[in-house]
Amino acid sequence: MQDDLGQKLKSEVLEEMLKIVHDLENLEQDTQYEMRKIDEQLEEAKRLEKQIHMNFHSPSEIDRLMREAKEHEREAKRRYDEYLKDKDD
């Protein structure tokens, strides 16, 4: 009887550990995906900044491109802050 109870507890603990491992693997995949998205946004912001500096644009076009680049940068920073916050939780 006691062996059965011990085996049942051991099985339950192992099952919970497997769930935790699975959750951690999913979290790692989510983290990698978010980091790729952040990197893409940073690259897009850099591309837009280069486009501004390499081409001659009207002042209004330059302003528009700068706003767009800064928005991409803010979004990337926001996502990174969320990632760090979620990572700490």
More confident site: 38 or 62: 38
- Confidence category of residue 56, pLDDT binned at 50, 70, 90: low
> In Å, how far are 10, 21, 57, 67, 83 from 74, measured between CA atoms?
48, 33, 23, 10, 14
Q: Which of 1, 48, 78, 72 is nearest to 57 (CA)?
A: 48
- Rounded to an integer, the average pLDDT of 40-56 is 82
Q: Which of 71, 53, 70 is nearest to 62 (CA)?
A: 53
**Is the pLDDT assigned to residue 53 strictly greater than 80?**
no
Residue 8, token pair as written in the block: 């049942």
Where exactly are the structural domains of the chain? 2-88
HSE, side-chain direction, 13 A CA sphere, residue 31 = 13
Q: Please state, in angstroms and rounded to a whole number, the distance separating the CA atoms of residues 57 and 55.
A: 6
Residue 40, token pair as written in the block: 């893409």
